[in-house]
Chain A
Amino acid sequence: MRRRVAGLAMMILLLVFSVSFGGLGVVDTSLRLTPPSGTMPFGTDTLGRSLLERVAAGTGTSLFIGGIVAIASFALGILLALCCFIPGFPRRVAFIFADAVKAVPSIVLALFSASLSGPGILSLAVSLSLAHIADIFRTSYSRASAIMKEPYIDAARCAGVGRMRIFITHVLPPLLPYAAMQSVSSFLSAVIGEATLSFLGCGVPVPIPSLGSILSEARSVILSSPWMMFFPASFLLLLGIAINLIAFSLSDPDPASERT
């Protein structure tokens, strides 16, 4: 519990940081790549923009992308899993689609969604969430179907309890912690995935910063201007620690209470 609070506190601090200091930064190439100083606490980037502003804004972007992916994968993953119990729902088809979606490389999805709606953070987040929705869908379904086989479910049905109530009171509660943990790890994986997409040239649209795109820009000047990589990497690490604290707290229930 303590860990969860610490993790959430860190995330809120990061959010506050990003809102207070975040900005696109003013371009002034005569100041490009200056080391940290009084006026520029984090130094400047390759275009002379304040790295403090960019890293703060980038933290916000990463929080946003991670948040969308986490919420979408959690909500839609569980929803799809529960839908599989509605008679007439094409369950097998859904499985095959889920497997297929996971096999589509993220760069293909990112390029396609950028073509559809123009490059944008939201379309990027949507394309990143598909694979995670599929993941949570599959694991939630397997847990849910294990639960549905329990005798008390039959008992409830015989007693005339409606399907919806069964889902809400019996099936949903045990699903939530595990799905929550998975969606928390997909938060981080989406932020890092966006960093890799930026590395390959298909990440968040310029000039909006994300921690990943700043890192990617910083790659070529790491030897001459290491601060440009140090600050975004540190904040990415802080974000990762916050996420891991929350994830650990969710996944560490007393093993003895786990029903196998």
Chain B
Amino acid sequence: MDSIWKRLLRLLLTMLIVSLAVFSFISFSSGDSSSSVLSEDASEEAVEAYRKAMGLDEPFAVRYLSFLSSFFSGNWGVASDGQDISFLVLSRIPATLSITILALLMSLAIALSLAFLSLRRHTIGRALTTAWAAVMMSSPVFLIAIALVLLLSFQLDLFPVAGYVPLSGGFVRSIRSVFLPSLSLALLHSSLIMLMMRAAVESNLSASYSMVARAFGKGFSRIAAIDASKPALPLLAILSGQSAAAFIGGSAAVETLFAIPGIGSLLVTAALRRDAALAGTLVMLIALSVSCISMAAEAVSALLDPRRER
């Protein structure tokens, strides 16, 4: 494994390249933020004044470098609509964090319980869970989300239809407001985790040491639960890391549908409005958190399996 400094250097380089890529993609995409902020019939004068105020008339290199320097100095500047970028971004983090954590817990709960319940081959239960996994993996997340809203929110009135309540508005109310979006994401991701964990546990089950344990008289479910799953825990750590990383930047669809103010939908808005500075800031933060999560997942994975080569 690389030393910690090498990894940090790679992280920094990755962040720089991502921000350069996103900043240039957005800057060189057709259109700019004046069309979203100003009226459609705005005067030429007003458009030029806006472009000048936003610095859109400066050469690309100047804009990118000033973006980098303001990012690393902590003073993140102003978004295309005049709002403070740091305020915008920080205000969106709690919702994204709530969804990420809740979705991850739900994914693990669903995936692991279904994986263990369906270990026996050639039973109806197994066929059902495999079919369920196939359906989940073939559905776009907004489809799952709409089905959940119709069922759990509208028919059964268990959860609000949309909107985000921050923790300050009450813990229970807050959880209820992010329950359906998290569940939509969890149903999607848990299918993959379930399939992979089940395959891993099964391959361990048929390994020789399991046979030895069975020879010693331990029942089938105890073996499965304890012995066969321990070697699969590192894999679980990695899969959890990957899912958490996907939730952080990739939940734009559920956020838009459920009207949750998270990072994903802010990124989509920034891209559609051609706000390069806001998008660049967001991707750097997302890349940073994804890398941290991956590193944490790998560390946990290594800890859980002493056989792994360092």
A adjacent to B, CB under 8 Å:
yes
CB-CB under 8 A from B142, the residues of chain A are: 195-196, 199, 215-216, 219
CB-CB under 8 A from A96, the residues of chain B are: 10, 13-14, 17
Q: Are B271 and A108 in contact (CB-based, < 8 A)?
A: yes
CB-CB under 8 A from A22, the residues of chain B are: none
Q: Are B25 and A109 in contact (CB-based, < 8 A)?
A: yes
Q: Are A241 and B17 in contact (CB-based, < 8 A)?
A: no
Q: Are A256 and B206 in contact (CB-based, < 8 A)?
A: yes
Known contacts A107-B268, A111-B271, A195-B140; A237 and B25 CB within 8 A of each other: no
Q: A103 near B: Cβ within 8 Å?
A: yes
Q: B103 near A: Cβ within 8 Å?
A: no
Q: A240 near B: Cβ within 8 Å?
A: yes
Contact with A along B234-266 (1 / 0, CB 8 A): 000000000000000110110010000000000
Q: A28 near B: Cβ within 8 Å?
A: no
Q: Are A240 and B29 in contact (CB-based, < 8 A)?
A: no
Q: B37 near A: Cβ within 8 Å?
A: no
Of B81-89, B131-139, B173-181, which binds chain A? Answer: B131-139
Q: Are A188 and B138 in contact (CB-based, < 8 A)?
A: yes
Q: B141 near A: Cβ within 8 Å?
A: yes
Q: A239 near B: Cβ within 8 Å?
A: yes
Closest B residue to A97 by CB, please name it: B17
Q: Are B22 and A104 in contact (CB-based, < 8 A)?
A: yes
Q: Are A104 and B21 in contact (CB-based, < 8 A)?
A: yes
CB-CB under 8 A from A95, the residues of chain B are: 10
CB-CB under 8 A from A101, the residues of chain B are: 21
Q: Are B135 and A240 in contact (CB-based, < 8 A)?
A: yes
Closest A residue to B192 by CB, please name it: A185
Q: How far is the CB of A217 from chain B (nearest CB, A)?
A: 12
Q: How far is the CA of A1 from the CA of B139 in the complex (A)?
A: 26
Q: How far is the CA of A188 from the CA of B139 in the complex (A)?
A: 10
Q: Are B146 and A219 in contact (CB-based, < 8 A)?
A: yes
CB-CB under 8 A from B135, the residues of chain A are: 237, 240
Interface residues of B in 79-134 (CB under 8 A from A): 133-134
Q: How far is the CA of A15 from the CA of B143 in the complex (A)?
A: 24
Q: Are A108 and B26 in contact (CB-based, < 8 A)?
A: yes
Closest A residue to B20 by CB, please name it: A100
Known contacts A96-B13, A112-B26; A104 and B143 CB within 8 A of each other: no
How many pairs of residues, A versus B, come closer than 8 Å at their CB atoms? 119
Question: Which secondary structure dominates chain A's binding surface?
Answer: helix
Q: A105 near B: Cβ within 8 Å?
A: yes
Q: How far is the CA of A22 from the CA of B78 in the complex (A)?
A: 48
Q: How far is the CB of B246 from chain A (nearest CB, A)?
A: 11
Partner of B140, one of A111, A199, A244: A199
Q: How far is the CB of A185 from chain B (nearest CB, A)?
A: 8
Q: How far is the CB of B277 from chain A (nearest CB, A)?
A: 14
Chain B contact-residue range equals 35 or more
CB-CB under 8 A from A215, the residues of chain B are: 140, 142-143
Q: How far is the CB of A187 from chain B (nearest CB, A)?
A: 11
CB-CB under 8 A from B207, the residues of chain A are: 255
Q: How far is the CA of A166 from the CA of B14 in the complex (A)?
A: 32
Known contacts A103-B290, A105-B267; A237 and B139 CB within 8 A of each other: yes
CB-CB under 8 A from A107, the residues of chain B are: 252, 267-268, 271-272
Q: A222 near B: Cβ within 8 Å?
A: yes
CB-CB under 8 A from B138, the residues of chain A are: 188, 192, 236-237, 239-241, 243-244
Known contacts A200-B268, A240-B137; A233 and B253 CB within 8 A of each other: no
CB-CB under 8 A from B155, the residues of chain A are: none
Q: B162 near A: Cβ within 8 Å?
A: no
Q: How far is the CA of A179 from the CA of B82 in the complex (A)?
A: 47
CB-CB under 8 A from B250, the residues of chain A are: 105
Closest B residue to A105 by CB, please name it: B267
Q: B286 near A: Cβ within 8 Å?
A: yes
CB-CB under 8 A from A114, the residues of chain B are: 29
Partner of B29, one of A111, A243, A244, A256: A111
Q: How far is the CA of A200 from the CA of B253 in the complex (A)?
A: 7
Q: Are B252 and A115 in contact (CB-based, < 8 A)?
A: no
Q: B35 near A: Cβ within 8 Å?
A: no
Q: A99 near B: Cβ within 8 Å?
A: yes
Q: Are B137 and A196 in contact (CB-based, < 8 A)?
A: no
Q: B283 near A: Cβ within 8 Å?
A: yes
Closest A residue to B6 by CB, please name it: A92
Q: Are B206 and A255 in contact (CB-based, < 8 A)?
A: yes
A-B contact pairs, 10 of them (CB 8 A): A100-B18, A101-B21, A105-B271, A105-B283, A108-B22, A115-B28, A196-B142, A215-B140, A236-B139, A256-B206
By a beta-carbon cutoff of 8 Å, the part of chain B in contact with chain A is 10, 13-14, 17-18, 21-22, 25-26, 28-31, 133-135, 137-143, 146, 199, 202-203, 206-207, 249-250, 252-253, 256, 267-268, 271-272, 279, 283, 286-287, 290
Sorted nearest first, the 6 A-B pairs with minimum C-beta distance are A240-B138, A255-B203, A112-B25, A100-B17, A195-B140, A115-B29
